Structure 1
Amino acid sequence: MTDYALEALKAKRAEITGAIARCHADIQRLSEELEHLDATLRLFAPDFVAESVLPKVFTPPKSWSKRGEMSRAVLSILRIAKGPLSTREIASMVVQQRGLEVTSEITNIMTRRVGHVLRDKRDKGVVRSIEETGLWLQWEIVR
């Protein structure tokens, strides 16, 4: 029995060291590309200081969700709702649940995201929209 575990651990180690080697190769390739770019910049601007250009770091906004998080939030709100809710009402509840600052910009972003989730779940038969004569569709869980 330990032979199987030992072989599995060896295979996992080989997988991890392979991933590390690929990362090192990527770093090497990117370093060479950066050197070439710096040399090209010095052709056009001989007094160029490469360190004067700060790295561009991507930080996602706080309103972003991880995979499936938005769907779970929307469906849990609809499950405990006493009746049908509009897209905007659901979006407002998601904003409150996540502890985000309630602004019109955040509410509009969340309304679009909630609407996308609801349309996707409607296509899969999980929720249904109720035709209302208002601005927003009313949504409920299919029971």
Structure 2
Amino acid sequence: MTDYMVEGLVKKRAALAGEMKRTQEALSRMARDLETLDNAIKLVAPELDIPAIAPKMVRPPEDWSKRGEMSRQIFAILRTSQRPLTSREIAAAMIVQRGMASTPQLLNLMTRRVATNLRDRREQGLVVNPEQRSGQYLEWQIA
């Protein structure tokens, strides 16, 4: 039994060492690129204080979803619905399912994202807009 464990640990160590090597190579590539950018800035604006340029930290918002996750969630909501739904109703259901704190700003943002996603799926023929009932919002259902 320990032979399997040792073999697994050796494989894990080799994979981790390989990942570290790739990361170090990428880091050295970025350092070279940064040095090249600094030299270009010095040529164009020699009086600029380059160390004073603060690094920009990019962190995606919590309301982002992974690739394809939003479409899957939209289709799941539409499949379980007994009637066509508006983008806003779908967005509200998504916020509840994901356990996010619902604010008017988040609801508007998610409504826009859902509507964009649904328009793309309509062009692919996956969803349709049924006959309009009274109201100003487009309703959606699975084709």
1:86 aligns with 2:90: no
- Describe how 1:1-143 pairs up with structure 2 within 5 A: 1-67=1-67, 69-71=69-71, 73-78=73-78, 81=81, 83-88=82-87, 89-97=89-97, 98-103=100-105, 105-106=108-109, 107-113=111-117, 115=118, 123=126, 129=128, 131-134=130-133, 135-139=137-141
User: What CA distance in whole angstroms lies between the structure 2 residues aligned with 1:8 and 1:31?
Assistant: 34
TM-score scaled to structure 1, two decimals? 0.69
Deviations 1:105-124 (A, max 9, x none): 412223323x269659x74x
Normalization by structure 2: what TM-score? 0.69
**In structure 2, what residue type is equivalent to 1:32?**
R
The Cα RMSD (Å) is 3.2
CA distance in 1, matches of 2:85, 2:47: 59
- SS of the counterpart of 2:26? helix
CA contact (8 A) 1:129 1:139 kept: yes
> Percent identity over the alignment?
32
C-alpha distance in structure 2 between counterparts of 1:16 and 1:109, whole Å: 37
2:78/2:85 contact within 8 Å kept? no
